[in-house]
Amino acid sequence: MSQFASSAGSKPALKVRSRRISPKTLIAYLFFGVLLVTQLYPLLWLLIYSLKTNEEILSGSFFTLPAEWQWSNYQGAIEGGSYFRYLGNSLFVTVTTMICVLLLASLAAFAISRFRWKYGQFVMLLFLLGMMIPMQGTLLPLMIIFKNLHVLNTHLALILPYVAFQMPIAVFILSGFLRTIPHEIEESAIMDGAGAFRIFRSIILPVSIPPMMTVCILTFINVWNEYILAATFISSERLKTLPFGVYSFVSQYSVNYGAIGAFLVLAALPVILVYFLLAEKITKGMVAGAVKG
């Protein structure tokens, strides 16, 4: 026993090496730290802004906490800003746009990337050219078209251009992924008697969930806070979307800045929740077609 103890005691003590951070790693940490602060600061500032009184906001003290938390601003934002009505309109327009974009873009990407036809690259080029068209440059032509079609001041006047402007990036992401799927899968399905729509429904759609989630989230973020088209084509108070709720707190002689901040926080919450809950899906979908296999 003593021999074991002496042998155990004679073992050299383990030296703990201090891990040194290389300059490159330190620069990377500083860069991402600055990026984190610049991205989170506007959200934190808006949250503090929404809990202040008008006097505190107009005093110019942007970095100070409120003397008393004004939670009543949120009650005023919900009641005075017709929050739930605008929220329902935004949800209807956004969800309908997402469904149309997913259906049409997946079918277009399937035809471009999986069918062997000579106009496939030309059609893909047309979609890519659609990414270069600014939304503001289409306001006057769309106004004339929708007026002739008698769809002005309806949600259809928003859904149609939203779908058109979200289609190019959706087709680009989905077609890039579909090109990585081996053609042998389709050939075996064709030998079993499956048609094009059966292959699309039973094979292509199940394996395309990651890029489709990315398209879904990007469409949601782009459509949710869109203002220019909504302000141009919608005039009825009953059909307006969330960005218009801010004007409920602006009168001829006064502005309720605290309620405006609270309304902006409530309007941003769905986007923030969707993004943080599905951020991993976005990353997987964006890199899904990067490596063939």
The two tokens of residue 261 are 């901040």
Non-local (6+) Cβ contacts of 93 within 8 A are 155, 158, 159, 162, 223, 241
How many Cα atoms occupy the beta-carbon half-sphere of 187 within 13 Å?
Answer: 4
pLDDT (tens digit per residue) in 50-75: 888 888 888 877 678 888 888 888 98
Q: How far is CA 267 from CA 20, 36, 49, 137, 272, in A?
A: 45, 22, 15, 27, 10
The C-alpha atoms of residue 201 and residue 189 are separated, in whole angstroms, by 12
Buried b (16+ CB within 10 A) or exposed e, 155-193: bebbbbbbbbbbbbbbbbbbbbbbeebeeeebeebeeee
**Average pLDDT value for residue range 29-56:** 84
Q: Is the pLDDT of residue 100 over 90?
A: yes
Q: Is the pLDDT of residue 185 over 80?
A: no
Select, from the ranges 2-6, 31-35, 84-88, the one with the highest average predicted confidence (pLDDT): 84-88
Q: What percent of the chain has pLDDT over 70?
A: 88
CATH superfamily of 83-291: MetI-like (1.10.3720.10)
The C-alpha atoms of residue 173 and residue 168 are separated, in whole angstroms, by 9
- Residue 64 CA to chain centroid, in angstroms? 31
pLDDT (tens digit per residue) in 71-90: 888 988 888 888 999 999 99
Residue 101 binned pLDDT confidence (cut-offs 50, 70, 90): very high
The two tokens of residue 276 are 């943080």
The two tokens of residue 90 are 């935004």
The two tokens of residue 125 are 């080029």
Select, from the ranges 5-9, 91-95, 233-237, the one with the highest average predicted confidence (pLDDT): 91-95
CATH 1.10.3720.10 spans which residues of the chain? 83-291
* pLDDT averaged over every residue in the chain: 82
Select, from the ranges 7-16, 81-90, 92-101, the one with the highest average predicted confidence (pLDDT): 92-101
Residue 194 binned pLDDT confidence (cut-offs 50, 70, 90): confident
Residue type, 75: Q
Buried b (16+ CB within 10 A) or exposed e, 109-140: bbbbbbeeeeeeeeebeebeebeeeeeeeebe
Closest CA to 73 of 251, 254, 242, 262: 262
The predicted model scores a pTM of: 0.79
Under DSSP, the state recorded for 240 is -
End-to-end CA distance of the chain: 60
Q: How far is CA 285 from CA 59, 182, 210, in A?
A: 46, 18, 5
Residue 37 binned pLDDT confidence (cut-offs 50, 70, 90): confident
Question: For 100-104, 146-150, 181-185, which range has the lowest pLDDT when averaged over its residues?
Answer: 181-185
Residue scoring higher pLDDT (289 or 175):
175
